[in-house]
Amino acid sequence: MAAAGSCVARRVEELGDLAQAHIQQLSEAAGEDDHFLIRASAALEKLKLLCGEEKKCSNPSNLLELYTQAILDMTYFEENKLVDEDFPEDSSQKVKELITFLSEPEILVKENNMYPKHCDLLGDELLECLSWRRGALLYMYCHSLTKRREWLTRKSGLLKEYLVDGISYLLQMLNYRCPTQLDEGVSFQDLDTAKLLSEGIFSDIHLLAMMYSGEMCYWGLKHCADQQLENQGVDAGVSGASCTTHREPLDFREVGEKILKKYVSVCEGPLKEQEWNTTNAKQILNFFQHRSNS
């Protein structure tokens, strides 16, 4: 365990130094202090101190958590800039870079293979957050691309890669935690909450992930139905998703229909008083139905 902790400490310290240098560049380019960059830098400074204390290095979980929190803050700053600028034409490299940063904590744990389940190190919430951030980033990027007719005409195959990767991250996020099993030994005062937990829905973010993935399936079927992924299962693609997931064939209609039917059922069932909008989801389901009948 101590050897594993020392190995993680060395690698995380290296990655932390690279991230700290990147944050310095971002701060200088911004020309002003930013809350997220300041917080990320502080986490990395604390990480540096812990890596210098030999006995602390036997606990890789603490180090990984600090590094992960820093990466989440640093990339959030950059994502906001991309969104504010509506993803300029040359954004693909920056998107790939952000996906790579957000993949590092998970990759590091898997490389060291210290536990049967890597969630023992990072925890379900951080793993969900990393997958959510990658999937949501690709959702926002793809949304921007679908509004550019000329881009779609020339690069629909590339869009399909982004969509498959983004959907994979969102589905991964939804599957980290197992649905709560409702039985006689579990008592709930709120039956609607019990129903949500039994469906594996633990927060509003889970609902957004369902809607986002369903919408991305719609874009895939509408814009990329005839496109094939190049080097499927091998190529990292522009988004680099194969760093953490093995790309498998994805049926946009089947996946989208399943996830959106569940979304509508939950929003009009246990969450009917919360006024979640299902109009777009129903329109997409109607589109899927017409495509399956054509």
Residues 39 and 89 in one domain: yes
Q: Is 169 exposed, middle or buried (0-12, 13-18, 19+ CB in 10 A)?
A: buried
Instruction: Count, in order, helices (H) and strands (E) of the chain.
Output: 11, 0
pLDDT at 23: 95
Residue 45 in domain: yes
Residue 137 in domain: no
Residue 240 in domain: no
Write the CA distances from 140 to 85, 154, 224, 254, integer angstroms.
12, 20, 17, 22
Residues 152 and 263 in one domain: yes
Number of domains in the chain: 2
CA–CA distance, 256 with 216 (Å, rounded to integer): 8
Residues 253 and 199 in one domain: yes
pLDDT in tens, the chain (294 residues): 455 556 778 889 999 999 999 999 999 998 777 999 999 999 999 999 888 766 445 578 888 999 999 999 999 999 999 999 999 988 999 999 999 999 999 998 787 655 544 446 788 889 999 999 999 999 999 999 999 988 888 888 899 999 999 999 999 988 876 555 555 555 555 565 556 555 556 578 888 999 999 999 999 999 987 665 543 433 334 444 444 444 557 899 999 999 999 999 888 887 777 888 999 999 999 999 988 766
pLDDT at 230: 44
CA–CA distance, 168 with 241 (Å, rounded to integer): 9
Q: Do 96 and 149 form a contact (C-beta atoms < 8 A)?
A: no
Residues 106 and 35 in one domain: yes
Residue 242 in domain: no
Residues 96 and 175 in one domain: no
Residues 96 and 166 in one domain: no
Q: Work out the angle between the directed axes of helices 60-84 and 92-112 (0-180°, nearest 10).
A: 170
CA–CA distance, 18 with 100 (Å, rounded to integer): 13
Residue 235 in domain: no
Residue 264's Cβ-side half-sphere holds a number of Cα atoms within 13 Å equal to 15
Indicate the SS3 state at residue 224.
Answer: coil
Residues 214 and 264 in one domain: yes
pLDDT at 283: 97
Amino acid at 254: E
Q: Residue 270 has which token pair?
A: 């246990």
Q: Which residues contact 203 (CB under 8 A, 6 or more apart)?
A: none
- Output the pTM of the full model: 0.86
Residue 197 in domain: yes
Residues 152 and 113 in one domain: no
CA–CA distance, 271 with 257 (Å, rounded to integer): 20
CA–CA distance, 50 with 67 (Å, rounded to integer): 11
Residues 268 and 150 in one domain: yes
pLDDT at 146: 94
Residues 266 and 167 in one domain: yes
Q: Residue 95 has which token pair?
A: 């998107």
Residue 231 in domain: no
Residue 261's Cβ-side half-sphere holds a number of Cα atoms within 13 Å equal to 10
Residues 109 and 15 in one domain: yes
For 209, the domain range is: 144-181+192-226+249-293
Residue 22 in domain: yes
Number of residues written out for the chain:
294
**Radius of gyration in angstroms for the set of CA atoms belonging to the chain, rounded to a whole number:** 21
Residues 27 and 149 in one domain: no
Token match 């800039």: residue?
81
Q: Do 57 and 63 form a contact (C-beta atoms < 8 A)?
A: yes
